[in-house]
A = this chain, B = another copy of it.
Amino acid sequence: MFTGLSAFPLTPVPGNGDVDEKAYAALVERLAAAGVDSIGALGSTGSYAYLTREERARVARIAVEHADGVPVIVGIGALRTRQVLQAAEDAQNAGAAGVLLAPVSYQPLTDDDVFGLFEEVTANLSIPLVIYDNPGTTHFAFTDELYARLARLPRVASLKIPPLPADPARARARVEHLRRLLPAAVTIGTSGDAAAARGLNAGCDAWYSVIGGTFPEPALALTRAAQAGRHRQALEESRRLEPLWDLFARHGSLRVVAAAAAHLGLTARRNLPLPLRGLNAEERARLVTVVEQLRLHT
């Protein structure tokens, strides 16, 4: 389950309004129909951090109900351990196949804080867990030593890492180093879409993908090429999408895929929780041009 393309759909949240559950169900169905390997509900792209316990529990249930048997991994991160434990319980009750946990912070966290969090959560879980390392949103920096400690906890099944070095030899060396640190059963998943091809080519087992949640076809093409050992083709697929990666770098991937989903008619135009205002008119126009040029709208 923690290999191949894990696609992270948006949770459409219109400004100060309620989750658009109908649009969300359709987004999930679309991913299942496209043949993604797993669906990452309530990831960063799914705006989990902005939603209440009740909203998250409903979104998890909708994801599982509409995934047509594709495994659903549900994000359970929260600032307080008690809230993480509740989200884990709700995800399990919804029928999630796994959970994804990031050490979200307000007060900076120590390594012991983070180890204690994962220790307590995994002790209370009956489904597998993905360790989610996303320093850009959590502001927590994992050390390799902490990776190794956490990966030995029960239920830990995968590690989602930040982008690997651009140099292929260094990227491969990094993955090999991580393999030696981690138990053999723990898969390694790359994140940061612009670095996905290099990550899969360097030996990562999975791609935890933002673009895959809105444009599953190009993400699948890239993933299947890398999985078949067609490394050049995977890099070509990624290179083709560079105008999109440029927009990701400039605005953050969430704002870009949110505007793209609205342009494709998959959601209403307002689909992000405030205070996130999304792209302005000029930025949207640029995105639409990119979507059309890359033929992502078909």
Contacts and interface: CB of A to CB of B under 8 A. Distances in A.
Interface in A50-76: 50-53
Interface in A102-117: 103-104, 106-110, 112-114, 116-117
A273 B82 contact: yes
A63 to B, nearest CB: 20
A80 interface: yes
A34 interface: no
Interface residues of A, number: 39
A44 B107 contact: yes
A84 to B, nearest CB: 8
Interface centre among A81, A117, A275 (most CB of B within 10 A): A275
A277 B108 CA distance: 12
Contacts of A107: 44, 49, 137, 252, 254-255, 276
A79 interface: yes
A139 interface: yes
A141 interface: no
Given A136-B108, A137-B106, A274 B50 contact: no
Interface of A: 15-16, 44, 49-53, 79-83, 85, 103-104, 106-110, 112-114, 116-117, 120, 136-137, 139, 252, 254-255, 273-277, 280
